[in-house]
Amino acid sequence: MTHIVRRVRQAGVYFVSSRTWQSRALLRKPEAAQLLIEQLLDCRSRGFYKLHAFVVMPDHFHALLTPAENESLERAMQMIKGGSAHAIKQALNYASPVWQKGFHDRWIRDAEEYRTRWDYVRSNPIGAKLVTKPEEYLLSSACGKFQMDASQYDLQDSGVREQV
């Protein structure tokens, strides 16, 4: 398998995704999903990135985030995946790998693309028939119980507002 080496660091918002190892539904377990959410929030509070939206699905997660000025996207993802894998393995006595290697990322180019990806993150549980409204899915920023950071596109009046 070829590993993509990123040579250009583009400042701004990224849409990122990562799958569990062999696409196992590990994150269907509430404890595992909660540990991932705690890691997402902890890495944000430690200054690795600003977190704009996220959703934890049974076998993957998506997030919109802006890496800190002195941090790379790769480092942010390493902290999310490595930290959550460690916590899941300890808490659940889980012996298998937690994550597939690597991750998918997309640099957000404008407010329209940001809004499209933001809507996708919110509606992902609906498409998977887990809920009928984004607010019903508790493993997502759409439920309203997690404070999210505003992005550069929120400030350009894209219609997205900071959640409280």
pLDDT category of residue 158 using cuts at 50, 70 and 90: very low
Q: Is residue 163 part of a domain?
A: no
Q: Is residue 164 part of a domain?
A: no
% of the chain with per-residue pLDDT over 90: 87
Task: Express each pLDDT in 16-74 by its tens digit.
Answer: 999 999 999 999 999 999 999 999 999 999 999 999 999 999 999 999 999 999 999 99
User: Tell me, what CATH number does 147's domain have?
Assistant: 3.30.70.1290
The overall average pLDDT reported for the chain is 91
Q: pTM of the full predicted structure?
A: 0.88
Q: Locate the DSSP E strands across 42-148.
A: 49-56, 60-67, 104-107
The sign of the torsion formed by the CA atoms of 19, 22, 28, 31 equals negative
Q: Is residue 115 part of a domain?
A: yes
If one counts the domains in the chain, the total is: 1
Task: Express each pLDDT in 100-116 by its tens digit.
Answer: 999 999 999 999 999 99
Q: Is residue 162 part of a domain?
A: no
Q: Is residue 1 part of a domain?
A: no
In this structure, of 7-21, 24-38, 76-90, 124-138, the range with the lowest mean pLDDT score is 7-21
Quick check: 108 and 117 in contact, CB under 8 A?
A: yes
Quick check: 64 and 15 in contact, CB under 8 A?
A: yes
* Residue 10: predicted pLDDT: 79
Q: What span, in angstroms and rounded, lies between the C-alpha atoms of 102 and 21?
A: 11
* Residue 7: predicted pLDDT: 45
Q: Is residue 120 part of a domain?
A: yes
Q: Is residue 7 part of a domain?
A: no
pLDDT category of residue 163 using cuts at 50, 70 and 90: very low
* Residue 5: predicted pLDDT: 53
Q: Is residue 32 part of a domain?
A: yes
Q: What span, in angstroms and rounded, lies between the C-alpha atoms of 19 and 148?
A: 22
pLDDT category of residue 11 using cuts at 50, 70 and 90: confident
The whole domain housing 54 covers 14-156
